[in-house]
Amino acid sequence: MRMLQALRSGALLAQSVLGAVTGHSRQANTTTRVGPSLDRWPSGLHLAVDYYPSQWPESMWEPDMARMRDANISYVRINEFDWALLEPSEGQYNFTLLDRTLELCGKYGLKAIVGTPTATPPNWLTEKYDTDFVDVTNATLQFGSRRHYSFSSYDYRRLSRGITTKLAERYGANANVVAWQLDNEFGCHTTTVSYDHNAIKRFRAWLETKYGTIENLNARQGRVFWSSQYAGFEAVQPPFLEVYTTNEAHTLDWYTFSSDMVIEFAREQADILRRHAPGQAITHNFMMLFTEFDHHKFAREVGIDLATFDQYALAGVFAFDWLTEDEMAGSLRQGLPDYQAMHDALYRGVSGAAYGRNAGPFGVMEMEPGVLNWNQYRVSPLDGMVRLWTHELFAASGDLVNYFRWRQAPFAQEQTLSALFTSDNVEDQGYVEQQIFANEDLPLLRAEINNAQTEQQQQQADVALVFDYTSNWVWSIEPYSGSWDPKSASYKDVALKYTDLVYTFYSSLRRLGLSVDIIDPYQSLAGYKMIVVPSLPIVPAAFDAALASYGTAGPVVFGPHTGSKSADFATVAGLNPGLNSTLSRRLPMRVTRVETPPAFARSGVEYGGARYNITAREEWIECERRAGTDNEKHTSSNATITYTSRHRGPEGSKPAACARDGLHYLAFNPPADLLVAYLGDLAVGAGIRDLAGRGADKANDLGRFVRLLRRGNLLWALNYGVEAAAVPEVKGGTVIIGGKEKSGQIPGAGVVVWKLAG
């Protein structure tokens, strides 16, 4: 086949490197729409890889596909960056490359996940149309990289619909296409929030729909403060380029609006695909620790069939600035032991939101097989970790592991990002480990796991952790610490982030060996034995009702800042957790002051005879509600943790946590060791056992590196450490993977899988 003219420069550049190498080596949408379906995505355990034929000589395409088949690859993700090839000039289309790629997929028994190419608008488009992305400094970002568009652009919305329609019409019935990926990494590179004139126009209309009148907006946003009332909606600006701190309620509106624009943009593409490709699945590749838009609302309103995310484990080591050097050194080449699993649980829940459930099909759309190209320090994974990460996704009830990418690019921006093969087509370590998993482990797992999707809907964890994107925005808007930066319209160097709390709570539950679902405030609490809410400043009415229905079915633990704000970002009546809520009625307490002390302040708490240092959040609380003017009676709760902070008076005299009627409020930033003790005691009291069948308390703390996961009748132990570590005794279990190691031990970067009796 003749080489496409549009591909010559890239392919020839690749050929110059390869030489003579051969290919052997929350406002609901009410429009009636077609929803997600489990029937579109094949059940089972699937391996996949990213492939970009435009970047390689045509002579390599077919040998590559043949080798993918032989490598036990089922799916190939393609096309997400190819708009300029598909439409080299406006209205002139060339589908030769994609046609040929899909033809080869069919020939070698592969199925394609086709990306809509809107993450990379072509130059002819940006030169002609009003699509520019404007950042918070009011700078217009230029063509030349990716994601250089505004979700609010009227022109870009229309052009996006156009290319999506062309692709869907041509390939919507193609038997070699299994799914569509919408765009690529929505919001990556801080591109969710654009300050362009189209966004401002849409924002004004969004506000008018919400508030009705400008007087209502001014009143609810508290604009009497500093005389900041707007004269009309046409005068409204986004919260940026102001001298000092922006209005908090207005900023929350802006973040919510920007999230809605992402959802609208994605929904337009999904609706087109549903019309023209009704039998093919729809997904999007979300990212890790990315909170600029509401993923649960996205899943509900876009109606994805499965959620996927891009897993780059070694980037997680640098995600939290409170980690010690020892902690970072211990995880540098393996990733944090709970970072990947936390996102597995998160996106299982995000997928469930699309189905009106707590869990749904999910997978990893990009898994790193080697060195990353964007970390501050770029290191290789410890040998064995690519295999371990693959196991971990499937152990967490995932469906898909897609390795990024087949072969390392020899040119352009990602030439230092590792792949399964080096740029000269030689097997790299990631491929070696993929082959060990594919040839040795995968057949054993497939023999035991028959219907993954049905199982995902039925297997509920013992513990639900509630994650909320709005809560993250509230914490970032007013973090009670840091210094205001007018150029970024945000606080810098904050002491504590919402995601810090979430990770600490989640990691503590994992150290206890517990099974954990991550859900949002709009998903069901029914059936869980314990609920953990790291922080929920604005308590939605739906969650308040769910909490009331949950009753005393199990302990419910809240972290700091919960129930502290109204929907309009004002201090709640009566101080948090706010009057007339389920939390305040059942747990009499109030927060009277908030401090964010540094580590050298020597703040601390005491629980169960042990002392713990705390930092970054210390709320002054009273474990009682005094009689008020609304017929409120004087009630009290129990102080379960007390402060030892020397500035708070005699040790033990001031409460740090209140509890009553199964509800617990922790008024500080809890260290993981304390949570292991506190949550462990609650788990034991609730009759919860760990995944190995033991009492889930601190006596059975799994420690720093070993973690457990269960899927059906299979139990995994994974060692995120470098050295061998002890694993719990599993009574009645038969080792099916990893049985050659010393009894009771798991090697560094090792995996053990048991088949449980019954």
3-state secondary structure 134-187: ECCCCCECCCCCCCCCCCCCHHHHHHHHHHHHHHHHHHCCCCCEEEEECCCCCC
Are the beta carbons of 182 and 282 closer than 8 angstroms?
yes
Active-site residue, selected from the candidate residues 87, 185, 368, 618: 185
How far apart CA 13 and CA 381 sit, in angstroms, is: 29
Distances (CA, A) of 261 to 31, 133, 194, 489, 607: 17, 13, 10, 20, 46
How far apart CA 739 and CA 729 sit, in angstroms, is: 13
Name the region of 561 (left: φ>0; alpha: ψ -120 to 50; beta: rest). left
Active-site residue, selected from the candidate residues 80, 366, 478, 619: 366
First and final C-alpha spacing in the chain: 56
The two most distant CA atoms of the chain are separated, in Å, by 86
Listed in sequence order, the DSSP H helices in 488-647 are 498-511, 541-550, 582-586
Which residue in 591, 593, 600 sits closest to 657, CA to CA? 591
- Single-letter code of the amino acid located at 437: F
- Let me know if 392 is a catalytic residue: no
- Let me know if 366 is a catalytic residue: yes
Q: How far from chain centre, in Å, is Cα 476?
A: 17
Q: In this structure, what token pair is assigned to residue 111?
A: 């199925």
How far apart CA 688 and CA 693 sit, in angstroms, is: 9
Phi, psi for residue 18 in degrees, rounded to 5: -75, -30
77: three-class secondary structure by DSSP: strand
Query: H or E segment at 636?
Result: strand 635-636
Beta bridge partners of 532: 465, 557
Q: In this structure, what token pair is assigned to residue 702?
A: 């799994």
Helices and strands, counts by H and E, the chain: 21, 30
How far apart CA 326 and CA 314 sit, in angstroms, is: 16
Q: In this structure, what token pair is assigned to residue 234?
A: 């046409």
DSSP of 188-228: TTTTS---SHHHHHHHHHHHHHHHSSHHHHHHHTTTTGGG-
Distances (CA, A) of 692 to 245, 455, 742, 748: 51, 20, 19, 20
* Residues ≥6 apart with Cβ < 8 Å to 743: none
Render the burial of 597-629: b for 16+ CB within 10 Å, e for the rest: beeebebbbbbeeeebebbbbbbbbbbebeeee
Are the beta carbons of 446 and 699 closer than 8 angstroms?
no
Are the beta carbons of 437 and 398 closer than 8 angstroms?
no
- Residue reference for tokens 């209005």: 247
Other CB atoms within a 10 A radius of the CB of residue 735 amount to 16
* Residues ≥6 apart with Cβ < 8 Å to 109: 69
Distances (CA, A) of 134 to 177, 192, 240, 489, 503: 36, 11, 12, 14, 32
Kindly report the length of the chain.
Answer: 758
- Residue reference for tokens 């998160």: 346
How far apart CA 683 and CA 697 sit, in angstroms, is: 7
701: three-class secondary structure by DSSP: coil
Residues labelled catalytic: 185, 366
